[in-house]
Structures are given as structure tokens and as C-alpha cells.
Amino acid sequence: MKASLTTTDNLKIPLNPPFSKGEIRHVPLFGKEGSGEILKWIAVLLITVSFLFPLISIAAAAEKGTEEELKERIAITNKKRVTPKEIKRFTDQVKAYFFETVPDDVIESAMKELTPGEALAAIVITNLSKKPGKDIIKMKKDGKSWTEIVNASGLKMKDVVKEVKEFQKTSGCA
């Protein structure tokens, strides 16, 4: 119902005349008249978020399996292995996990020449690539990045990270 003003001649003059071209119409967001507008804005917001959410999760998933993630895993492994007793226990876990796939002398060499986390990464690369462990250890000692070592071994970083995570999960090292 539109409000109007009645004159003495019974001529009705609307209090809210229709807008002419170029005028901006103000719609209240609250109150009886604005309840539909609020619902429209909420619907628009929900639809926008529903389209953006998959994009955000895809971007987060794309970052998995990077050199940075491998370095984080190496740091986690190193943090928990500082005393000789902890390093010995870790070496035994690595030997048990990679039993018959990576020779013990390669594991021992990696543990002597690299940090425990780096040794784990080198052993995983050795296991997945079937390249000699001494070559992987030498590349790391020569200052090559993990990405360069993984690429030279013909592997994908995401596979190496996945295997390191799996070892950490099954052995309780993470």
C-alpha cells in the first residue's frame, strides 16, 4: 500500500513518486520492506563463496609435494633426533622400513654423512629411483637442491614427499 496525501479536491499526490531517469533508488535492508533484499544479498554471498571454495582448495593442493614441504618434513625429522641414542633408534627404524629395498651400508652411510632428515630423504629417493645411494648422498653433499636431485633421479617431488610422510606416519617419527 502506497502512502499518499489527499487534498481538498480529492486529488491524490503520492508521497513516494516513481523515480525519473538517472535517480538512485534506495532500498532499505532492514524492516518489512528490506527483508527480501537481505535474503538476496545472503544468497549472492553464499553462491560467491561456493564458487571460490574449490579454487582455494585446488590452490592449496597444488602446493603439496614441493621442495618446501620436503624441507619441512626433514626439519621435523631432525628436531626429534638429536641424541646418539635417538639417532641409533631412528637408524634401526629406517633399516626395518626399507628392509631388502635399500642396503644397510647405504643407510649407514647416509646417516653418517647427512642429518637424519636429509638421510631419510636420500634413502627414499634411492628406494624409489633404484639409483645408487652413494650418488644421491654425493649430490646432496655437493650442495644440490632436493628438486635437482629428484629431477636427476627421474622422480616427481610429490612422490618423494608422499613416501617420506608415509615413513614418518608408520614409524611414529612425525
pLDDT mean across residues, the chain: 81
Phi/psi at 5 (nearest 5 deg)?
A: -115, 130
Residue 170 scores a pLDDT above 70: yes
**DSSP string computed for 96-126:** HHTTTTS-HHHHHHHHHHS-HHHHHHHHHHH
Q: If you compute the radius of gyration of the chain from its CA atoms, what whole number of angstroms results?
A: 33
The percentage of the chain sitting over the pLDDT mark of 90, rounded to a whole number, equals 52
Q: Which long-range contacts (CB under 8 A, 24 or more apart) does 87-95 make?
A: 87/111, 87/116, 90/116, 90/173, 93/171, 93/173, 94/119, 94/120, 94/123, 94/167
143-149 mean pLDDT: 95
Q: What is the residue type of 91?
A: T
pLDDT of residue 62: 45
pLDDT in tens, 79-104: 888 888 999 999 999 999 999 899 99
**Stated length of the chain:** 174
Report CA-CA distances (Å) from 149 to 75, 78, 110, 115: 18, 20, 15, 16
Residues 121 and 111 sit within 8 Å (Cβ to Cβ): no
pLDDT of residue 80: 81
pLDDT in tens, 47-79: 877 777 665 655 554 456 799 999 999 999 898
pLDDT of residue 49: 74
